[in-house]
């Protein structure tokens, strides 16, 4: 049972994100230096949410990482919160050798960072793009169990249209600065927690999409009664809801293993398959339940679908790194 402090913590984060980052806001795909984005980032920093992936926060509230991820997914957050708070911040905290001179142009509390995780073999350079004011880094294994962070100048990132209508896509150019190296022992647990948070974000987007479909099925009438009363619709919605709930158990198990300091590449693979599969199914079903309007650009259903497909690809890269290092 959640304590009163935990309930307050989660409701505070949910209210902050919900009030300042509506779906209409996500639609605008604003760069991180837009006033509305800066205001939200400042609130996240002032509330201590940028430290959510770091040691002290995780020791006290780490069990609620998945709920934080789902909240950002439901809002379709268009800031690199996950890569900054759950990847870069804890990496720099765990290993000061990664903090090379010039690696960060600005403190993360002032300027968020988008991070691409990839091996040299799969390195096509795609990265989430958040405008010229963001920082861009790549985390990759180099040799003998060591890892390196590289900074890429925003001016060298080629911006291209991406699948997700709410987040830009870019291709990294040559690295401007390379950090020192860290060991797999330090990097992999952080990468596994970030991977889990990203899957929770995916689940949040899929869950919001399904909730929207359920609400519509209760009010849209056909043949004199709500369409949600027809078994073909009702059973499909229930099946999707149960699928999402089942995937949450896998994510909880993966988070628990991470908290215990255990690398679980097999469990990570299972969690990824379940989350991606049921997430896609829930978003597709939401579009179908809405009928013709569900396929329209003006409706929000496609935004959730595209975010889920986008995350399916980015989390696959992290999964490959976890499994290769096992």
Contact call for residues 266 and 272 (beta carbons, < 8 A): no
Ramachandran angles phi, psi of 226, nearest 5°? -60, 140
Dump pLDDT digits (tens) for 224-275.
888 878 888 999 999 999 999 999 999 999 999 999 989 999 999 999 999 9
Cα–Cα distance, 72 to 13 (Å, whole number): 9
Q: Where are the domains of the chain?
A: 1-326
DSSP category for residue 161: -
pLDDT at 100: 85
pLDDT at 32: 95
CA distance to 17, 48, 81, per residue, from 57 (Å): 19, 9, 15
pLDDT at 163: 83
Cα–Cα distance, 175 to 120 (Å, whole number): 13
Cα–Cα distance, 38 to 79 (Å, whole number): 10
pLDDT at 325: 82
Domain 1-326 indexed as CATH 2.70.160.11: no
Cβ burial of 252 (10 Å; 0-12, 13-18, 19+) is middle
Dump pLDDT digits (tens) for 54-77.
999 999 888 899 999 999 999 999
pLDDT at 1: 45
Which residues in the chain land under pLDDT 50?
1
pLDDT at 162: 81
DSSP category for residue 326: -
């Amino acid at each position: 049972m959640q304590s009163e402090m935990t309930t307050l913590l989660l409701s505070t984060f949910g209210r902050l994100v919900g009030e300042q980052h509506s779906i209409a806001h996500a639609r605008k795909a604003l760069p991180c230096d837009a006033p509305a984005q800066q205001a939200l980032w400042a609130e996240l920093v002032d509330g201590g949410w940028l430290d959510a992936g770091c040691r002290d926060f995780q020791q006290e509230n780490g069990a609620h990482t998945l709920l934080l991820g789902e909240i950002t997914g439901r809002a379709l957050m268009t800031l690199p919160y996950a890569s900054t708070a759950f990847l870069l911040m804890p990496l720099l905290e765990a290993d000061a050798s990664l903090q090379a001179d010039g690696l960060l142009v600005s403190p993360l509390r002032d300027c968020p960072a988008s991070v691409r995780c990839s091996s040299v073999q799969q390195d096509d350079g795609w990265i989430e793009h958040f405008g010229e004011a963001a920082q861009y880094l790549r985390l990759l294994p180099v040799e003998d169990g060591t890892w390196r962070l590289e900074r890429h100048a925003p001016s060298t990132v080629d911006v291209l249209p991406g699948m997700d209508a709410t987040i830009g896509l870019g291709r990294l150019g040559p690295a401007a600065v390379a950090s020192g190296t860290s060991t797999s022992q330090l990097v992999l647990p952080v990468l596994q927690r970030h991977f889990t948070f990203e899957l929770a974000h995916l689940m949040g987007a899929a869950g919001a999409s399904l909730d929207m479909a359920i609400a519509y099925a209760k009010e849209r009438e056909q043949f004199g009664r709500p369409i949600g009363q027809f078994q073909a619709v009702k059973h499909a919605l229930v099946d999707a809801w149960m699928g999402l709930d089942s995937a949450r158990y896998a994510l909880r198990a993966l988070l628990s293993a991470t908290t215990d300091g255990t690398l679980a590449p097999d469990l990570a693979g299972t969690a990824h398959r379940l989350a991606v599969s049921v997430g896609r199914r829930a978003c597709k079903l939401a579009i179908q339940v809405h009928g013709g309007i569900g396929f329209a650009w003006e409706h929000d259903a496609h935004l959730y679908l595209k975010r889920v497909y986008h995350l399916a690809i980015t989390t696959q890269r992290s999964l490959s790194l976890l499994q290769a290092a096992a």
